[in-house]
Amino acid sequence: MTQSGDKAQSATPATQTLGLVLVPDFSMIAFTSMIEPLRLANRVSHQQLYDWKIYTIDGAAVQASNGIRLEADGSIADIGPMPNVVVCGGVDIQRQDHSLLIAKLRRLAFYGVSIGSVCTGSYVLAKAGLLDGFRCTIHWENHESLREEFPHLDVTDELYEIDRNRFTCAGGTAAIDMMLSMINARCGQEVAAAVTDELIHHRMRNANERQRMELRARLGVANQRVLAVVATMEQNIEEPLSCGELADRVGFSARQLERLFQKYIGQAPTRYYLGLRLARARHLLLQTSMPILSVALACGFVSASHFSKCYSEHFKRTPSEERFGPRQKAARREAHAGSLLADQGEATDAASSIGALA
């Protein structure tokens, strides 16, 4: 990279500090996509426009979802007065205990700190009640689960949302676009454009651009009728349409639609539709605490037994095993191993005591 000659605006803004709270298994790409635009804003402007501090719940190093561990500048108890605090989420965020973090975020919000999140960090803000009355977004994979668990929230499909003193982002590289927007608002278009060039980002994406690839690119299919039917399927998960109803939408008979799907998708439309519903169910099982029956109903199944049968046939495990199996078994193994070690320790202590008495 070459050093940019772009200059900041004539009125030099004071250094703004950003507090980043990293939870276990946080998303590294979302984290670096927040930090790097700020670092480059300092570089291209030849000024210390931004500074940042990293915090964890207890101040100890924390591991990202990719296995890399980062040291922290302090614990959340050390977060003092600063303009913005951001929660960087990642995988399995709904399975973690956020009670201490929620209490801290509520206090910071009470004192006027702007609170934000990237990736699944929006879940923590929602649990804290800090998104009530604000527009917000989250990674597309967690979108429906957030809506199911917090139906009163205004959850959008945007790349990012900046609503007064709340800012949320879908995660991934969308964090770059959110930070560029904030840099543009604070430091001007020249600095933001220079940072965009340094990132080889080509352009600053608008907040309302889609999170996912276009359906045509995702499926590798150009047939407009197939694309229209798949889009309709994705929009009607809770109340599935029949094959005949789907065919009517594109002016085909059910038999014609069957042939079309076999040609372009390689399976019957009913089977493809079922796969979409089961994939949504899997997301809800892993990302929410919704009862299995509620998950079944939210994905268009009329009973828990029918849902369980379809799920087991598709994923080779039951919904209960999906939600609790591997982690619960691992937790039981760890607890059992700990119990064995404790028993061995007690036995050793007892033997030592007996030996001493002898």
Domains of the chain as residue ranges with CATH? 16-198 (3.40.50.880), 215-320 (1.10.10.60)
Instruction: Return the pLDDT at 286.
Output: 86
Task: Give the tokens for residue 87.
Answer: 């929660």
> Are residues 281 and 315 in contact, defined by beta-carbon separation less than 8 angstroms?
no
Residue 282 predicted with pLDDT over 50: yes
pLDDT at 349: 52
The answer to whether 247 and 273 have CB atoms below 8 angstroms apart is: no
Write down the mean pLDDT value for the chain: 88
The CA distance from 205 to 191, in Å, is 16
Q: What is the mean pLDDT of residues 3-21?
A: 69
355 has a pLDDT exceeding 70:
no
Average pLDDT, integer, range 244-251: 94
Q: How do residues 79-106 score in pLDDT, each as one tens digit?
A: 988 999 999 999 989 889 999 999 999 9
CA dist 330 and 349 (Å) reads 28
Helices (H), ranges, the chain: 28-45, 99-110, 121-127, 140-149, 174-187, 189-198, 215-219, 224-235, 243-249, 254-264, 269-287, 292-298, 304-315, 319-357
Mean pLDDT of 32-36: 97
Tokens of 257: 């639609």
**Closest by Cα among 148, 119, 136 to 237:** 148
- Residue percentage of the chain with pLDDT more than 90: 77
Tens of pLDDT along 215-226?
898 899 999 999
* 292-304: average pLDDT: 94
Question: In the prediction, which pLDDT does 156 show?
Answer: 94
pLDDT digits (tens, 9 = 90+) for 126-157: 999 999 999 999 999 999 889 989 999 999 99
245 sits in which H/E element: helix 243-249
Please check the confidence at residue 115 and state whether its pLDDT lies above 60: yes
Q: What is the tens place of the pLDDT at every residue in 161-186?
A: 999 999 999 999 999 999 999 999 99
- C-alpha to C-alpha distance for 8 and 290, rounded to whole angstroms: 50
